[in-house]
Structure 1
Amino acid sequence: MKSVSLAITGASAVRVGVAVARALHEYGVEVAGIIVSRGAYQVARYEDNLSPEELKSTLESYGPVYDESDLTSPLASSSSQPDAMAIVPASMKTVAALASGYSGNLVVRAALSILRLGRRLVVAPRETPLGVIELENLARIARAGAVVVPLCVAFYNKPRSLDDVVSFLAGKVLDALGVPNDLYRRWRGG
């Protein structure tokens, strides 16, 4: 995988999206752009005490950052898409828009372009419980070619800290993108 774009939307676990950006950069994958929604800025402030300026500054060290309303971004066009894209975390609003083909912002517009081009789209929802509507929307985007990677905690890797949990989740997203990584302890059998 040479290049990946990343979108961080307004669901809990913005820190996992940041960890994915950092890991892509550390593993030598070009981060073609990072799209941040208004909701993501709000979640980062609430969960991690990060101001919008702090979150943006952190992300800019990994790649160019675009607001969800910036339809002048190169990522707005199918002619300028990277090899893959990940939406981490993916809000149910974003999943619903994607499932219905409603490209009302840069996140969904870029994701739909990735799917139209037959490239890998990884969508990492962070919501629980899931109702029939959410499940149907997730199934719809999976049928369209997206790989759905729910941000679910595992315990076989023996996490000892929140950082271990975040690394596990980021590693699973990188696995789905096809980026080799050693972010978590893999299952080796019992």
Structure 2
Amino acid sequence: MSAQRLVVGITGATGATYALRLLRRGRELGLETHLIVTPAGVLNVHHELGMDRQALEREASFAYAPGDVGACVASGSFSTAAMVIAPCSMKTLAAVAHGFGDNLLTRAADVTLKERRRLILMVRETPFNLAHLRNMTAATEMGAVVFPPLPAFYHHPQSIEELVNESAERVLELAGVTGAEPKAWGGLRS
């Protein structure tokens, strides 16, 4: 494998900007990105970013329809560094937590877990109900990383873009991507 491969999934929760940043930063870092967007994810991308499916798919190295369960990312023999679902709806979280691989996105997540690769779920829903919390616990027990995109303010961000970029860098670092550059806490200075 010449380039690191990253699978990016987008579902119907708010926060499509995180996925777009991951795809663009992946390109900058020389990653091979594999994109899967659910129908609700497309609606959200259009609403939040003003993009259609084709424009979004051009941001990735490869893109797949959610019904394409025969795609390469549906197999453990297709080696990837990690998979990120950004944003991850509670419906998708439930499917992942219960091994319900009814489309390519949830199948790819299941494959990521069974192969003991890093699966990062940028869950987007608040407040959490008990089912959400139990599903997060189940996904964590299976090896997923639950990463709500909560911003850090210690580096004094000046824009929403800075907040999004910092969360994306942290996710890329968690995914084991070479070149990710999250801002480290430097400690309190008097």
TM-score (normalizing by structure 2):
0.91
For 1:5, the aligned partner's letter is V
1:85 equivalent in structure 2:
83
Count residues with an aligned counterpart.
Answer: 185
Runs of 4+ residues over 4 Å off in structure 1: none
1:12 alignment partner in structure 2: 14
Stretches of structure 2 lacking an aligned partner (at least 5 in a row): none
Name the counterpart of 1:149.
147
Distance 1:74 1:114 in 2: 12
Separation (CA, whole Å) in 2 of partners of 1:123 and 1:18: 15
Task: Give, in whole Å, the separation in 2 of the partners of 1:3 and 1:38.
Answer: 23
The answer to whether the Cα contact below 8 Å between 1:81 and 1:110 also exists between their aligned partners in 2 is no
One-letter identity of the residue aligned with 1:178: G
In structure 1, the gaps of 5 or more residues are none
Q: Please tell me the root mean square deviation across aligned C-alpha atoms, in Å.
A: 1.5
**Aligned partner letter, 2:138:** R
In 2, the alpha carbon distance for the partners of 1:166 and 1:19 equals: 7
Aligned residues with identical type, % of pairs: 34
For normalisation by structure 1, the TM-score amounts to 0.91
Q: Counterparts of 1:172 and 1:114 in 2: how far apart (Å)?
A: 19
Shift of 1:127: 1.4
How far did residue 48 of structure 1 move?
A: 1.7
- Partner residue in 2 for 1:158: 156
Residue 52 of structure 2 corresponds to residue 51 of structure 1: yes
Partners of 2:81 and 2:176 within 8 A in 1: no
Q: Please name the residue that 2:40 is paired with.
A: 39
Q: 1:181 and 2:180 equivalent?
A: yes
- Structure 2: distance between partners of 1:181 and 1:77: 26
SS in 2 for 1:88: strand
